[in-house]
Amino acid sequence: MLRIMALRQIYRHGTRWAEILSVLSKYGLADWIDRLGLEVARDLIKGPTGEAIARLPWTTRIRLALTELGPTFIKLGQLLSTRPDVVGVALARELEELQEHVTADPPEVVKEIISRELGRPLEEVFAEFHEEPLASASIGQVHRARLKTGEHVVIKVQHPDIEGKLLADLEILSGLAFLAERIPDFQIYRPMSVVAELRRTLVREVDFVRELRNLQEFRAHFEDSPDVRIPRAFPELSTKRLLVLEYLDGCKLTEQDRLKELGIDFDEVARRGAQAYLKMIFEDGLYHADPHPGNIMVFPDETIGLLDFGMVGRLDDRLRERVQELLTALVSQDSERLAIIVAEVGATPISLDRAALALDLADFVAYYGHMPIEQFDLAGALTEMIEILRRYRIVLPARIALLLKTLIVLEGTAQLLSPRFHLLEVIRQYRRKVLWHVFSPRIALRRAQRTYWELQSLLEVLPQALRDVVQQLRNGTFDIHLDHRGLEPSVNRLVVGLMTSALFLGSALMLAHRVPPLLSDLPLLGGWLSENMGSISAPGFVGISLSAIWGWRLWRAIRRSGRLDRH
């Protein structure tokens, strides 16, 4: 069934398939040239800007390939940059550099889309409309405007037919992921689940109503905050493809010179921003998941403004408690507790060596736990912990991976303002508040209610389940199914080894007893072979040769699997 679906996708999107395969083959050929070390051929394949692809690192080649393939694949790369536990830290860091530079739509096209979405001419709603866009990304572009009522706003409008283009590319990606699942080298990257996660992300991003709701929820959480400003939305002017927001006239963190002219206290702004994010994570369970400098503004009174709420993270009560326990174990240097939490939160392989994991985490905690706060690098610590998890094939839930990535980016953004800033110091100061929040009566009551409903659900299904088991035992229909994972290759090798041994022994007996026909009896063999090997049994010679070939193949397969002399 899946093969038929893949063929249908190729038929429907044949031109796009050809374009994607052409780009992938170009960068794949450059990788092949690089591995063989063919210096003469290194400069033959050029990238979009004229650089020799084969001379670039493999991580850069992947980033360039995704960039050349367009918006959907750029989004895929940005998603993978949040999953260093899947693709590795080196590739995740390279994919962080993916930028969305999409040609802006003409003003007449944008005006026509806005008028169609509003159901009335643009001039009836806006007193001014700036035709030059502030930015243009893969999903849409942003324009400044002024309402008839006088408010200065920004209009976020989708590109025409962007949803159809993204869905077409997602179908093609599903076909590629289906093929990649059958290649052992790609299985560790879980291509099918990554594409499914990308589909969920893109479906959310092309629905501006969802972003509007996120924005309203953030405004409710920071309604009384003197430190954080969230732009006001205009729901009556917003649709699935159109979003109208308040224009915030502040300085972005990238405008360092302007911030210095305003006399901004960088240390204070970094501290306020970090505390706001810790509130979002540990108290609200909803946080802004893209804290790069372009999405954060600073105002003359040193308040902070947040922009772009298309990418947010959510943590339910149970997952938030796990995150709190994980950070508490990290801060308190409890390696055993840290190993238990990591194994419970992540998807662990059956063959996980928990003792070795605990030992590695103990070394990790011992190294970072006794480091002075002014030298502590939280981003480096989280990165190293992710590398440990990847080494043990532990895959974190997408929400946890996104949170860890957000903390890493947050510390980097804060240190852009204040190089002396350390997020761990703020977390330690915030720890008492977190503990009070964890053990507060309201949280304890909510936890008790959740436990009550789970027990009630269990008590409802348990009697019937026990009756079914007893009935199956009484009727003799109770079965136990065992799943022997990874046993088939071992059985196949055992069978081949037994057959090879039997063939070798039988052939050796035929050689010893000179079982006819002999080599000298074969008319096609003569001359030197008949004179020197004529008394050798022909079937014994063939059998010995075949057993040698089979034995060599078996030895080579075991060596390639890496399990010849390893427990």
- Going 71 to 74 to 76 to 79, the CA torsion angle's sign is negative
Show Cβ contacts of residue 17 under 8 Å, excluding neighbours closer than 6 positions.
Answer: 9, 10, 172
* Torsion (CA) 168, 170, 175, 176 in degrees, nearest 10: 120
445, HSE (Cβ side, Cα atoms, 13 Å): 3
Apex 210 CA angle, 302 and 214, nearest 5: 30
User: What per-residue confidence (pLDDT) applies to 567?
Assistant: 43
Using alpha carbons only, how large is the chain's radius of gyration in Å? 32
In one letter, which amino acid is 116? R
Q: How is residue 337 written in tokens?
A: 């507790």
554, HSE (Cβ side, Cα atoms, 13 Å): 19
SS3 390: helix
pLDDT tens, residue by residue, 67-100:
888 788 888 888 788 777 777 778 888 888 776 6
Q: How is residue 292 written in tokens?
A: 């790069």
- Whether 162 and 105 have beta carbons less than 8 Å apart is answered as no
SS3 357: helix
d(CA 184, CA 58): 19
- The dihedrals phi and psi of 490, each to the nearest 5 degrees, come to -65, -40
User: What per-residue confidence (pLDDT) applies to 191?
Assistant: 81
In order, the DSSP letters of 19-56 are: HHHHHHHHHHHHHHHHHHT-GGGTTTSB-TTS-BGGGS
Q: Please report, in tens digits, the pLDDT of each residue of the chain (567 residues total).
A: 444 445 555 556 667 777 777 777 777 654 544 554 544 445 556 565 556 666 677 788 888 888 888 788 888 888 788 777 777 778 888 888 776 666 788 999 999 999 999 999 998 999 999 999 988 888 888 999 999 989 999 999 998 888 888 888 888 888 778 877 777 767 777 788 888 888 888 888 888 999 899 999 999 999 888 889 999 999 999 999 999 999 998 888 878 888 888 888 888 888 888 889 888 988 888 888 888 888 888 998 889 999 888 788 888 877 877 777 777 776 666 767 777 777 777 777 777 787 788 788 778 877 776 666 666 677 777 788 888 888 888 887 888 888 888 888 888 888 888 888 877 777 777 766 666 655 567 666 766 777 777 787 778 888 888 888 888 888 877 777 666 655 667 777 788 888 888 888 888 888 888 888 777 666 655 555 555 565 778 888 888 888 888 888 888 877 776 554 444
User: What per-residue confidence (pLDDT) applies to 2?
Assistant: 45
- Whether 360 and 354 have beta carbons less than 8 Å apart is answered as no
Nearest to 237 by CA among 297, 304, 149: 149
User: What per-residue confidence (pLDDT) applies to 10?
Assistant: 53
Q: What is the DSSP letter of 249?
A: -
Q: Is 290 a catalytic residue?
A: yes
- Whether 415 and 292 have beta carbons less than 8 Å apart is answered as no
Nearest to 423 by CA among 436, 434, 414, 432: 414
Q: How many CB atoms lie within 10 A of CB 477?
A: 8
The partner residues of 252 in beta bridges, in order of sequence, read 297
Q: What is the pTM of this model?
A: 0.68
pLDDT tens, residue by residue, 280-311:
988 888 888 888 888 888 998 889 999 888 78
User: Where is 98: in which H helix or E strand?
Assistant: none
Apex 376 CA angle, 371 and 379, nearest 5: 135
Whether the link from the prior residue into 107 is cis, omega within 30° of 0, is no
What are the helix and strand counts (H, E) for the chain?
Answer: 23, 11
Catalytic entry in 169, 290, 308, 334: 290
36, HSE (Cβ side, Cα atoms, 13 Å): 11
d(CA 383, CA 394): 14
d(CA 165, CA 157): 16
